[in-house]
Amino acid sequence: MNELKIALQSLKMSVRTRMQYRVDSLVATLAVFIRESANIIVIYLALLKFDNINGWNVNEMLFLFSLLFLTYAFVVSLFADLRDFSRMIREGRFDRLMVRPRGLLFQLILNNADLMASAGHGTLGILLFLISAGKVGICWDFATILYYLGAIIGGVLLQGGMFIFFSSLSFYFLETNSLREIFYWNMRKFAGYPISIYHKLIQGLLIYVVPFAFVNYFPAQYLLRKPDLINYNEIYIYIAPLVGIAVYLSSYLFWRVSVRRYYSTGN
């Protein structure tokens, strides 16, 4: 309960800090929403012309994207400091966390929520869900709702685990932004589409190396059962939420080992 109180207090402080500059915060949220919406509009217009992408129609594609945006909205609100962790190491700001009577990862998760980016992605994710969820043939009963919520939690943990993993590499290599750019941000761009349209190498990366397929593709397949599911082991759609937990726990263990290698950059 004490940890929960601290978490809520930290969130309250983040909101107050952001609201000191209300116009700037509103513009930042709007900018994120417009930037991401532009990509969706391009895809929507393309699908109006070509009807479908490997059997996925426009509403099914929007549903696929909604999972990606909804999960990232929670990720960027919880793991914002881990997103730029190598910079924190270089500037010596990580030292301040080490003298405080709380766990390092606990402090990083609560330290600096990017609420504006979270609001922008979250609003777009909810909007895409509301547009598509009723048009893709999903029977929304208790089982599917429970699975959907589990998939959201699993997707958040999976991406949060990846942030923790790349942050842990900063204890070995001073600069890791290029690795994160290649293996997270670029792979995330691929994840917006059905992975069955890609070469086998890209599919393998999205399933086994940077498992974004378990964030939205396999959860969507559990609910939609598209024909291209035949290309993969059906067990993937059932274990998708569990993969997120496994990635997070593995990354957490790697963090615990790696943080012991930290040497202060001094002043």
In three state form, how does the secondary structure of the chain look?
CHHHHHHHHHHHHHHHHHHCCHHHHHHHHHHHHHHHHHHHHHHHHHHHHHCEECCEEHHHHHHHHHHHHHHHHHHHHHCHHHHCHHHHHHCCCHHHHHCCCCCHHHHHHHHCCCHHHHHHHHHHHHHHHHHHHHHCCCCCCHHHHHHHHHHHHHHHHHHHHHHHHHHHHHHCCCCCHHHHHHHHHHHHHHCCCCHHHCCHHHHHHHHHHCCHHHCCHHHHHHHHCCHHHHHCCCHHHHHHHHHHHHHHHHHHHHHHHHHHHCCCCCC
Residue 267 covered by a domain: no
Q: Which amino acid is at 127?
A: L
Provide CB contacts within 8 A for 232, sequence distance 6+. Answer: 207, 218
Token match 């397949």: residue? 221
Let me know if residue 29 belongs to a domain. Answer: yes
59: in domain:
yes
Task: Count the domains in the chain.
Answer: 1
Indicate whether 266 belongs to any domain. no
- What string of pLDDT tens digits covers the 267 residues of the chain? 666 676 666 666 666 666 666 676 677 778 888 888 888 888 888 777 777 888 898 899 999 999 999 999 999 888 887 887 887 887 777 888 787 777 788 878 877 777 778 888 999 999 999 999 999 989 899 999 999 999 999 999 999 999 999 989 988 887 777 888 888 888 888 998 999 999 999 999 999 999 999 999 999 999 999 999 999 999 999 999 999 999 999 999 999 999 888 877 655
pTM for the predicted model, two decimal places: 0.88
Residue 204 domain-assigned? yes
pLDDT of amino acid 242: 96
Identify the CA nearest to 110 among candidates 246, 12, 252, 19.
12
Domain enclosing residue 112, as ranges: 2-261
